[in-house]
Amino acid sequence: MKMDINSIARPEIVAMKPYVSARNSAAADGILLNANEAPATHVNDPEWQRLSLNRYPPPQPALLRSRLAEMYSVDESRVLVTRGSDEGIDLLTRVFCRPGQDAMVECSPCFGMYRIAATIQGAQVIDVPRQAGNGFQIDFEKLKQAINEQDGVRLVFLTSPNNPTGDLVGRVQLEGVLKACEGKALVVLDEAYIEFCDAESASELVAEWTHLVVLRTLSKAWAAAGVRCGIVIADPAVIGLLQRVIAPYPLAATAIDAALQAISGDAVSREQEFVAEVRAGKMDLFEFLSGCDWISEVTQGEANFVLLRVADADGLVDWCAGRGIRIRNFTSQAQLEGCVRLTIGSADEMAALKLALQDYGEQA
């Protein structure tokens, strides 16, 4: 469905004249005297020379955008490259939520940065809690009711698979939320972990639903968390508004180069091999955990982690830390009392984890 995106964006963002950087206003060729840069690098290193680190990088590198668009089967005009998905979340919140007036909706427990971005912006957070007794599934009827009844909703954040519960948002449910948001809000679907499951990405729906935004990342399945490369896939009108507030040069030249390396050559086959290894390792860990009678609940989910519920989450985290193994404690969050999250690592790391868990179980 087509929607006037400007009608739900902050009017001051729509009206503002954006900053135009030197790289946006002119080509980066010839004698460059328009950006107050050094004419050459002071560092005598081939990499500095190759990457022209004395120069500002392109704000939205054409080759990287092109390859990402091809990878996600979308038009380049629908792609914005950001410093991780965190920046995409922040940009969306700043563009669409007026402080003290507008609101975003989340379904906790979920990724904590949605709430953080809204709080920093001064936007209201409307929470439609997941159903802990039903596999942490979203109550979509309550979600749609909240969207319809609450004034000022501008963003609805969904995650598929969700972090830390691993559940998916089905296509029918997503389209139901999209219909509920028509004319009033964007639906932001965070697909950071989509490569680890068999579900299809919703990227293809962006061309059909103007108010759908899909977030992707190279941090997980593409094994490039240190590169900090996130991708916003959205209608060109949304992309244009985000570009009004994004930093003039958000991506370092070294990060652009590393991102291209992460998805080039035999990267696709390497990514597929890695995902297969994660799935095998997860199944092996799940079978091990199922035999541990001191674990009250194991949520397998569809991502590269599992969620456990135990009697003493703090004690388990400390026990593993004493053996040099760091696991994530979620026990302070509502509905996740006693829960810890275990990321699937290498075969050696999983062997060490299972040994630590076995020892813990014997003394628990």
User: pLDDT digit string (tens) for 156-215?
Assistant: 999 999 999 999 999 999 999 999 999 999 999 999 999 999 999 999 999 999 999 999
Q: What is the mean pLDDT of residues 274-279?
A: 98
Residue 2 has pLDDT above 90, yes or no: no
Considering the domain architecture, whether residues 188 and 276 belong to the same structural domain is answered as no
Structure tokens at 276: 């297969």
Looking at residue 133, its pLDDT comes to 87
Question: Is 46 inside a domain boundary?
Answer: no
Residue 278 has pLDDT above 90, yes or no: yes
Considering the domain architecture, whether residues 355 and 308 belong to the same structural domain is answered as yes
User: pLDDT digit string (tens) for 124-163?
Assistant: 999 999 998 888 999 999 999 999 998 899 999 999 999 9
Question: Is 38 inside a domain boundary?
Answer: no
Considering the domain architecture, whether residues 257 and 282 belong to the same structural domain is answered as no
Using a pLDDT cut of 70, give the percent of the chain over it.
Answer: 100
Question: Is 34 inside a domain boundary?
Answer: no
Question: Is 51 inside a domain boundary?
Answer: no
Domain hosting residue 143, numbered range: 5-21+56-263
Look up residue 80 and give its amino acid.
Answer: L
pTM score above 0.95: yes
Q: How confident is the model at residue 297 (pLDDT cuts 50, 70, 90)?
A: very high
Whether the Cβ atoms of residue 195 and residue 221 lie closer than 8 Å to each other = yes
Question: Is 31 inside a domain boundary?
Answer: no
Select from 263, 279, 305 the last residue of a domain. 263
Average pLDDT, rounded, for the chain: 97
| C-alpha triplet 94, 95, 99: angle, nearest 5° | 50
Considering the domain architecture, whether residues 245 and 330 belong to the same structural domain is answered as no
CA separation (Å) from 302 to 150, 181, 275? Answer: 31, 26, 12
Considering the domain architecture, whether residues 127 and 213 belong to the same structural domain is answered as yes
Select from 263, 279, 311 the last residue of a domain. 263
Residue 364 has pLDDT above 80, yes or no: no
Number of domains in the chain: 2
Secondary structure element (H or E) that encloses residue 265, with its range = none
Q: What is the mean pLDDT of residues 17-32?
A: 92
User: pLDDT digit string (tens) for 335-356?
Assistant: 999 999 999 999 999 999 999 9
CA separation (Å) from 36 to 60, 72, 111, 248, 326? Answer: 20, 36, 40, 14, 45
We report the CATH number of the domain holding residue 94 as 3.40.640.10
Q: What is the mean pLDDT of residues 290-295?
A: 96
Whether the Cβ atoms of residue 244 and residue 14 lie closer than 8 Å to each other = no
Q: What is the mean pLDDT of residues 114-128?
A: 98
Output helix, strand, coil percentages for the chain, rounded to the nearest 5: 45, 15, 40
Considering the domain architecture, whether residues 278 and 354 belong to the same structural domain is answered as yes
Q: What is the mean pLDDT of residues 29-50?
A: 95
Considering the domain architecture, whether residues 96 and 225 belong to the same structural domain is answered as yes
Select from 263, 280, 300 the last residue of a domain. 263
Q: What is the mean pLDDT of residues 277-300?
A: 97
Whether the Cβ atoms of residue 310 and residue 340 lie closer than 8 Å to each other = yes
Q: What is the mean pLDDT of residues 90-114?
A: 98
Considering the domain architecture, whether residues 148 and 217 belong to the same structural domain is answered as yes
Considering the domain architecture, whether residues 67 and 156 belong to the same structural domain is answered as yes
Considering the domain architecture, whether residues 139 and 66 belong to the same structural domain is answered as yes
Considering the domain architecture, whether residues 208 and 282 belong to the same structural domain is answered as no
Looking at residue 253, its pLDDT comes to 97
Residue 123 has pLDDT above 80, yes or no: yes
